Structures are given as C-alpha cells and as structure tokens.
C-alpha cells in the first residue's frame, strides 16, 4: 500500500495544488451526510474544485512546477507506465506492461550497440556488418553463424537477452534485411 501512495505522489501533488482546506473538509464530511444528500454534496465539491482551479490558473499563469510537469530532464517512461497502471483496467495494465517490456528491450539494444561501438574502437578489425551476418536465418529456420572472429562476442551478447528480447532483436534484424 505504501508503494501505491509513493507512486501516486504526482496525483496527490496535483490534488493539493488545486484544492483548499475547506474543500478537503467537505470531502471528509461526505460519508457522514445523509445518503440522499451525498450526491448533491459531491457535485458541489467538484464545482468548488473547478471554480478554485479556474481562479488559481488565472492568478498563476506559469507552468505546473509543483506537480513535477516542468522538469527539464528526460521523462522515465517505464515509471510513467507504473504510475498509470494504478488507475487502469486489467487490459490496460497488460498493455502498459507490454510497453514497459518494449522500453526495456530498446534500452538493452542501446546498451548492446554501445558495447559494439566500444568493441569496434578497441578492436578496429571488429566488423559490425560481419557481426550482423552472424545470425542470418538458415533454410531450416535455425540461427546460423558465419566464419567471423566476432562470433563469440555476439554469442555472449545474445545470451544476455531474454527470449522476448531475442525475438524482438530478430524481428528488427529481419526488418533491416528487407530494407536492403
């Protein structure tokens, strides 16, 4: 439960920015009001929040720095998916998890690319083109390996991938071969 409160901190910051203590008191009183009057009070509370928000934005036309929306740094999309999942249906959560997995795969591919570039700087004979040919599909569907000196390095890098990441890599590789 503590994790959910921490993950919802931006929502709480937004709510705190666009409400008053008087409105919060009405929210606390809501369950104690006669049930037939609760819906009227709920509408009144939302009206007060809306009115306060309009007045607040007129008085403070700057960005929402209190909500963390004006941060110049690159957003953490995986964290965003986690925060959105708190308010999502099971199907939406599944889709957000797929996005998170895809982002993880992209990060892994970027890391592998950086490693390959570093290897190419250290060993000038290290050929990226030859390395790409290491995993071309043979006629029986198995992954073939060419006669390049970089084969052990590619094997090591490919073994670092999860099966899903390897599948994604192979899909990208097939797409790249169609472009040629």
Decide: 26 and 101 in contact? Cβ < 8 Å: no
- Residue 24 to residue 178: CA distance in whole angstroms: 59
Tell me the pTM: 0.47
Decide: 105 and 78 in contact? Cβ < 8 Å: no
Report DSSP state, residue 137. B
Q: What is the pLDDT of residues 92-108, one digit of tens each?
A: 999 999 999 888 888 88
- Residue 179 to residue 25: CA distance in whole angstroms: 62
Q: Can you give the C-alpha Rg of the chain in angstroms?
A: 26
Determine the pLDDT at residue 82.
85
Determine the pLDDT at residue 91.
93
Give mean pLDDT in consecutive 10-residue pieces for the chain, a chain of 180 residues: 58 82 90 93 95 90 58 76 87 91 88 82 66 46 46 71 79 63
Query: What kind and span of H or E run contains 38?
Result: helix 35-59
Determine the pLDDT at residue 52.
93
Decide: 99 and 82 in contact? Cβ < 8 Å: no
Residues 6+ apart with CB under 8 A from 51: none
Determine the pLDDT at residue 140.
45
Determine the pLDDT at residue 50.
94
Determine the pLDDT at residue 64.
57
């Amino acid at each position: 439960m503590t994790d959910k409160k921490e993950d919802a901190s931006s929502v709480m910051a937004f709510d705190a920015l666009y409400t008053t203590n008087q409105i919060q008191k009405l929210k606390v009183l809501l369950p104690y009001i006669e049930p037939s009057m609760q819906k009227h009070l709920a509408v009144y509370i939302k009206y007060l929040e809306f009115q306060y928000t309009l007045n607040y934005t007129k008085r403070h036309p700057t960005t929402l720095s209190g909500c963390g929306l004006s941060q110049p740094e690159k957003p953490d999309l995986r964290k965003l998916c986690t925060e959105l999942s708190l308010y999502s249906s099971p199907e939406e959560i599944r889709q957000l998890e797929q996005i998170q997995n895809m982002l993880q795969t992209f990060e892994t591919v970027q890391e592998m690319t950086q490693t390959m570039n570093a290897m190419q700087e250290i060993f000038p004979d290290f050929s990226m083109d030859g390395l790409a040919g290491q995993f071309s599909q043979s006629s029986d569907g198995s992954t073939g390996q060419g006669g390049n000196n970089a084969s052990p390095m590619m094997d090591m890098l490919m073994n670092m991938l999860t099966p899903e990441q390897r599948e994604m890599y192979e899909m990208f590789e097939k797409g790249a071969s169609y472009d040629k």
